[in-house]
């Protein structure tokens, strides 16, 4: 049975329908606007993550890979009661420590792990130094010393009597650095002074490429002037250690 509406009721029903339609349109528009805002925010986030997130990832990766380059063991010769050479109050132990600490800072800045036999003026057994490097699983053992003589100047490097190509690379690359610092090139020699069939403790105990470097003569004014450019020298020497490390451990540098 059909329901009969009065004119007034029909107008009221039409008004209600118009209101319902209007509300529906407002809800649809609000929903679309909210969706558009969400999509825009998502796009902005994506672009920002590409711009900055990518860099962060790169630098994280680069730091991560630098951490894996390896361990360099630096051995400042002598220390404590053992002053090493003494040229009018200029002690070898102090020079060796100063230069080693500066080289350490340069290497660490490049992301290498550096261990040292001593960072202060203390006694350390000569055999113990090599054992420390072995226990740490170091990649290079570099002992820093200075020479003394009534005359003479320049840098010399001692490598093990039975040396591998890697040990020669370390010795020769370091010598290039000393020459770049300004020292005269004396030699890269296997064995010990006047005896090629023996080894210094610094070369006989480490089970990784090692060398004992005499960084000029404390008895030479010329060498001392060169040596005292510590920061500049440390940078050159650290770069040469890195150069040698890249040659000896190339797999550490592959992606
Ligand atoms: Zn010495």
pLDDT at 49: 58
Is 34 in the same domain as 138?
no
CATH of the domain at 212: 3.40.630.40
- Residue burial 175-201, b: 16+ Cβ < 10 Å; e: rest: bbbbeebbbbebebebbbeeeeeebbb
Q: Taking the chain, what is the end-to-end CA distance rounded to the nearest angstrom?
A: 85
Q: How many domains does the chain have?
A: 2
Kindly state whether residues 36 and 83 are assigned to the same domain. Answer: no
pLDDT at 58: 46
**Per-residue model confidence (pLDDT) at position 51:** 56
For every residue of 32-101, DSSP letters joined together read HHHHHHHHHHHHHHHHHIIIIIHHHHHHHHHHHHHHTS-EEEEEE--BTTB---EETTEEHHHHHHHHHH
193-199 mean pLDDT: 96
In a domain, 2, yes or no: no
* Domain end point (choices 68, 90, 105): 68
pLDDT tens for each residue of 13-42: 777 878 887 888 877 785 777 777 766 777
Alpha carbons 133 and 86: distance in angstroms, whole number? 27
Assess whether 90 and 63 both reside in one domain.
no
Which residues are catalytic, by number? 214
Cβ–Cβ under 8 Å, residues 92 and 78: yes
Task: Give the pLDDT of residue 123.
Answer: 96
> From the CA of 193, how far away is ligand 1's center (Å)?
12
Among candidates 230, 213, 241, 250, which has minimal Cα distance to 110?
241
Decide if 179 is inside a domain: yes
Distance 208 CA to ligand 1 centre (A): 20
Q: 233 with 113, same domain?
A: yes
Ligand 1 midpoint to CA 85 (Å): 7
Same domain, 86 and 184: yes
Distance CA 166, CA 95 (A): 27
- The answer as to whether 1 is a domain residue is no
What is residue 57's predicted lDDT score, i.e. its pLDDT? Answer: 47
Specify which of 42-46, 148-152, 174-178 reaches the highest per-range mean pLDDT.
Answer: 174-178
Asked if 82 and 118 count as a contact pair (C-beta separation under 8 A), the reply is no
Helix (H, G, I), strand (E, B) or coil at 170: helix
Domain check: are 77 and 103 in the same one?
yes
Is-contact 196 161, C-beta < 8 A?
yes
217 and 101, same domain (yes or no): yes
254 CA to middle of ligand 1, Å?
37
The verdict on 79 and 183 lying in the same domain is: yes
pLDDT at position 217: 97
Q: Report the interhelical angle of 230-248 vs 165-181 (nearest 10°).
A: 160
Q: Find the 145 Cα to ligand 1 centroid distance in Å.
A: 4
Answer yes or no: do 113 and 18 share one domain: no
pLDDT for residue 39: 65
Question: Distance from the CA of 215 to the center of ligand 1, in angstroms?
Answer: 10
177, 228: one domain:
yes
Domain that residue 80 falls in: 69-250
Residues near ion ligand 1 (CB < 5 Å) are 77, 84, 145
Q: Give the Å distance between the CA of 132 and the centre of ligand 1.
A: 18
Instruction: Select from 68, 89, 104 the last residue of a domain.
Output: 68
Query: Do 15 and 122 have their domain in common?
Result: no
Residue after which a domain boundary falls, among 68, 86, 116: 68
pLDDT tens column, 115-153: 999 999 999 999 999 999 999 999 999 999 999 999 999
In a domain, 55, yes or no: yes
Is residue 209 within 8 Å of residue 138, measured between CB atoms?
A: no
What is the reported pLDDT for 55?
A: 46
Beta pairing partners, 212:
143, 158
């Amino acid at each position: 049975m059909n329901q009969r509406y009065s004119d007034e009721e029909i107008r009221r029903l039409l008004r209600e329908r118009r209101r319902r339609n209007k509300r529906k349109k407002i809800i649809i528009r609000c929903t679309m606007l909210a969706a558009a805002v969400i999509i825009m925010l998502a796009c902005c986030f994506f672009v920002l993550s590409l711009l900055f997130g990518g860099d962060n990832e790169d630098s994280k990766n680069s730091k991560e890979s630098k951490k894996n380059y390896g361990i360099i063991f630096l051995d400042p010769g002598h220390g404590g009661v053992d002053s090493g050479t003494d040229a009018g109050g200029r002690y070898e132990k102090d020079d060796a420590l100063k230069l080693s600490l500066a080289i350490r800072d340069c290497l660490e800045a490049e992301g290498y792990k550096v261990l040292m036999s001593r960072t202060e003026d203390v006694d350390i057994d000569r055999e113990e130094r090599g054992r420390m490097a072995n226990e740490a699983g170091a990649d290079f053992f570099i002992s820093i010393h200075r020479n003394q003589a009534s005359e003479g100047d320049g840098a010399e490097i001692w490598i093990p009597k039975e040396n591998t190509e890697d040990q020669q690379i370390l010795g020769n690359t370091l010598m290039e650095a000393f020459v770049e610092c300004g020292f005269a090139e004396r030699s890269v020699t296997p064995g010990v002074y006047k005896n090629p069939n023996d080894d210094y403790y610094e070369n006989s105990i480490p089970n990784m490429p090692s060398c004992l470097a005499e960084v000029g003569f404390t008895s030479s004014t010329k060498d001392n002037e060169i040596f005292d450019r510590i920061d500049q020298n440390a940078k050159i020497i650290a770069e040469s250690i890195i150069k040698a490390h890249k040659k000896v451990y190339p797999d550490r540098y592959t992606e």
